[in-house]
Amino acid sequence: MNRFTFIFVVCLYALFLVYQAFNTITLEQQLVYASFFILSFGIPHGAIDHILFFKKRSMTKLKFYVLYLGLIAVFVLLWLRFPLLSFLFFLILSAFHFGESQFADAKITLRSFNPLLFLFWGLALLATLMYYNIGELASITAYFQDTQDFAVVYNKDLFFYFFISTNFGTLILLLFFFIKNQISKRRFSSELFLIAIIHLTFFLFPFIIGFTLYFVVLHSIRVMNQEYLFLKSEDVNFSLVDFLKLLLPYSFLSIFFTSILLGLSHWGFLKISIPYLSIIIISVITLPHAIVMHIFYKK
Amino acid sequence: MLLDIQVMRPDDYVGFTFFIGYMAMFAASVFFFFERGSVDDKWKLSLLISGLITGIAAVHYFYMRDYYLATGENPTFFRYVDWTLTVPLMCVEFYLLTRAAGATKSLLWKLIIASTWMLVCGYIGESFSDGTTAHSVTWGVLSTLGYIYILHAAWFGEVAQLAEKSNSDVVKRGVRTLAWFVLVGWAIYPIGYMCMDGGWLNTAMGWGSENVDLWYNIADAINKIGFGLVVYNIAVSESK
């Protein structure tokens, strides 16, 4: 168990007690709390992509920003033209990104198998999250007019095979890496424990709460820690306060523009429901972020 | 004798685990006390503590199974008397294992206070309930704080650091295994706690309050006997 899993376990106990107190938390309450935590931790973890990129690669600032924003624009267009395809692409991209951040600190030398492990680990995570909460997801999807097209994805039988195959594949790959001495016995047991606890979380809690808990603690805080340690390794005088100062302006900027878009949807200026718009916003900022982080981890 | 007049149903899993628990704890005590003679002197105290943990539990299980059979109710009073004595003793095991690496008395007392705090708060939450959720949640939160402290100490705090400092790989592995017991084994108890009437697992998942003792009995068997066996394994390995 590492420190992030420890924080996750503590949060899990806290959630148990919250549920003990309230028994149920309405969808609106879930969305409010989840938004708060995702905006507070999720946005900052990708706020310094440009700084990390320029530490690893040389490129003119103009070219970087054109590419970064260009990717976002292309993905927005893709969403408008092919929503279902974009959604599936977003799921696969996120899966890889989650897996890559999970094993970023593992010193795996079998590089050709790395992407497979990252992808399977992330797909298993998303499949587990969706499989345990498929009824809830289907009802949320059916509730809004513009998300109804996604209902085709939430097929129980299809998800069962997806759930089984990705989890089984992940376990096989972990075992393979363990046998090949790529991960230690301690790391192997920690990974198995983490998978078990993720299953428990997604089984017990609603979709939004389960995902937020994973995304904030096991992904965002973990990635921010990796970023902080990297920047500290570049400059020994770099402190946590310096790191927070670095994150804040870009985070506020992102939150500001995200809020404007959500506000436009809320007041009817944008004819897209808030959940659908949220998925689009998250996915289009995930694309360049995942690419930058891939370069960051690779180098 | 109460036992003479009680009928056990074959599907009474709670009663079944009370009997199994009693005999397993008793057998484990005999084992630890006898095996004390086969390890080096420095490990005798650790095995004595292991034997005491299962011994105290065996005596309480003897009372608890009779109480359960006679009344069909949860023997909460006996349960917490047992835990209040045995859980701090488990913390003593952590201290004894890391003593050679420099564990201080203050660590011992911090662990004992945290474990006692955890149990006393749990007891108030479970036994003096006024029927409100606020009561069980408040005491549940307070109890969890004690648990989190011990969990942190075992994985990242003083206990883990002392184990890393020790020259023995066996001790390092042993403390790590005990930390797993605290993480996974001790986590079974809240499942029982939340099966109480009004508890989340009771209302949301439909797990009735009769499951409280089932979970507690399973957890006790794993943690008390398992904990002792890990200590025994370290003692035997280090005595070779």
- B182-210 pLDDT, tens digit each: 898 888 888 887 777 766 776 666 777 77
**Taking residues A196-219, what's their average pLDDT?**
91
Q: Evaluate the CA torsion angle B153, B157, B158, B162 in order and state its sign.
A: positive
Mean local confidence (pLDDT), A12-29: 80
Model confidence at A3: pLDDT above 90? no
pLDDT of res. B11: 77
Question: Is residue B27 pLDDT above 90, yes or no?
Answer: yes
Residue type, A145: Q
The least confident of A76-90, A156-170, B31-45, B159-173 is: B159-173
Which residue's entry shows tokens 């340690």? A229
Q: How many CA atoms lie within 13 A of B234 on its CB side?
A: 29
Q: Please answer yes or no on whether A23 and B141 come within 8 Å at the CB atom.
A: no
More confident call, A149 vs B189: B189
Of A241-245, B15-19, B43-47, B170-174, the poorest mean pLDDT is in: B170-174
- A vs B, Cβ pairs < 8 A, gives 43
Query: Taking 90 as the threshold, does the pLDDT of residue B149 lie above it?
Result: yes
Structure tokens at A191: 């990974």
For residue A209, which of A155, A135, A133, A285 has the smallest C-alpha distance?
A133
With pLDDT > 90 as the criterion, what percentage of chain B qualifies? 34
Over residues A252-272, mean pLDDT = 85
Domain that holds residue B142: 7-239
Q: Considering only CB atoms, which chain B residues are within 8 Å of A23? A: 133, 200, 203-204
Q: Do A9 and B183 touch (CB under 8 A)?
A: yes
Higher pLDDT, B165 or B156: B156
Share of residues in chain B with pLDDT > 70 (%): 93
Q: Hey, which residues 17-46 in chain A have their CB within 8 Å of chain B?
A: 17, 19-21, 23-24
A110 has a chain B CB within 8 A of its CB: no
**Nearest chain A residue to B140, by CA:** A17
pLDDT value of position A199: 94
Q: Is the pLDDT of residue B86 over 80?
A: yes
- The predicted pLDDT at position A292 comes to 92
Closest CA to B183 of A219, A65, A194: A194
Mean pLDDT over each residue of chain B, to the nearest integer: 86
**Per-residue pLDDT at A134 exceeds 60:** yes
The answer to whether residues A101 and A77 touch, using CB atoms and an 8 Å cutoff, is: no
Average pLDDT of chain A?
87
Extents of the domains making up chain A: 3-298
Question: Using CB atoms, which residue from B133, B155, B194 is nearest to A1?
Answer: B155
Average pLDDT over residues B38-52: 90
Rounded to a whole number of angstroms, the distance from the CA of B52 to the nearest CA of chain A is: 30
Mean pLDDT of A141-162: 76
Flag whether B2 is in a domain: no
The answer to whether position B1 is within a domain reads: no
Q: What is the pLDDT of residue A258?
A: 85
Q: For residues A218 and A216, give the distance between their C-alpha atoms in angstroms, rounded to a whole number.
A: 6
**For A251-271, what is the mean pLDDT?**
85
Task: Please report which confidence band the pLDDT of residue A150 belongs to, taking 50, 70 and 90 as the band edges.
Answer: confident
Does residue A85 surpass a pLDDT of 60?
yes
Interchain pair A13, B152: CB under 8 A: no
Q: Tell me the pTM.
A: 0.81
Whether residue A66 has pLDDT greater than 70: yes
Give me the long-range contacts of A20-23 (CB less than 8 A, separation at least 24).
A20/B133, A20/B136, A20/B137, A20/B140, A20/B194, A20/B199, A20/B200, A21/B133, A21/B134, A21/B137, A23/B133, A23/B200, A23/B203, A23/B204
| B22, part of any domain | yes
Asked if the interface predicted TM-score (ipTM) of this complex is over 0.85, the answer is no
Range 135-154 of B in CB contact (< 8 A) with A: 136-137, 140-141, 144, 147-148, 151-152
- Percent of chain A at pLDDT exceeding 90: 37
B45 falls within a domain: yes
User: Domain count of chain B?
Assistant: 1
Residue B147: inside a domain: yes
Calculate mean pLDDT across residues B31-44: 89
Q: H-type helices in A152-221, by residue range?
A: 156-179, 185-204, 207-213
Interface contact B155-A17, CB threshold 8 A:
no
- For residue B133, what pLDDT is reported? 72
